Chains A and B, each alone.
Chain A
Amino acid sequence: RKEVEQDPGPFNVPEGATVAFNCTYSNSASQSFFWYRQDCRKEPKLLMSVYSSGNEDGRFTAQLNRASQYISLLIRDSKLSDSATYLCVVTGMNTGFQKLVFGTGTRLLVSP
């Protein structure tokens, strides 16, 4: 089983739509959770951290469910510029050092 699993998509949505992605993780000891965004042929960039209480940043809302071991990302009022791959990232252990474990990403295509 993969440490972090995401639906690869693509999710095709019209501008203005609301779209949600989920991600499940297998390591119950994971302590930190993130969503990164990666544009085509570019490097990943941090979109937002995911806190236990959930957090919101403009049109983006992230939620964490530790009991079920999944995190979610909700995008409201989608823009064309939201088209990208969204990477779910959790921490895992590597010889005592907390490393980041990346999902393979969910691709979002927002159309006019």
Chain B
Amino acid sequence: DVKVTQSSRYLVKRTGEKVFLECVQDMDHENMFWYRQDPGLGLRLIYFSYDVKMKEKGDIPEGYSVSREKKERFSLILESASTNQTSMYLCASSFQGLAYQETQYFGPGTRLLVL
């Protein structure tokens, strides 16, 4: 079974703090993704990576950065957390398919509250 794990299920931080969210997958997937999910807005792509040290901006990268130093690990960084970054953060991974998007497997999510 594919397993995607996230470092925390729940996190409470203060405005201005630096926040690290870590994601690890055990299936040797090339692609990894970070989404946030908010009521009424669905899942929105923040950043993705298709290889070690490679990253691409998604739809809402502002206020976030990422790091992929190892194939199995993809970190999301909030340099200076703000209250509008309170959300559910979901990590996902997938194989690098040829023509079509491969299935994405999600981690359990991290609920971040920024006070």
Residues of chain A at the chain B interface (Cβ within 8 Å): 4, 8, 31-32, 34, 42-46, 49, 87, 91, 94-95, 97-100, 102-105
Q: Do B41 and A32 touch (CB < 8 A)?
A: no
Q: Do A44 and B100 touch (CB < 8 A)?
A: no
Residues from chain B with a CB closer than 8 A to the CB of A104 are 40-42
Q: Do A100 and B42 touch (CB < 8 A)?
A: no
Residues from chain B with a CB closer than 8 A to the CB of A99 are 45, 48, 58, 101
Kindly name the residue among A43, A46, A91 whose own CB sees the greatest number of chain B CB atoms within 10 A.
A43
Known: A32-B101, A46-B103, A94-B45. 19 other contacts (CB 8 A): A4-B42, A8-B40, A31-B99, A31-B100, A32-B100, A34-B103, A43-B107, A44-B43, A44-B90, A46-B105, A87-B43, A94-B59, A95-B56, A97-B48, A97-B50, A99-B45, A102-B42, A103-B42, A104-B40
Interface residues of B, dominant DSSP: loop
Q: Do B58 and A43 touch (CB < 8 A)?
A: no
Q: Do A94 and B58 touch (CB < 8 A)?
A: yes
With A97-B56, A99-B58 in contact, do A91 and B101 touch (Cβ < 8 Å)?
Answer: yes
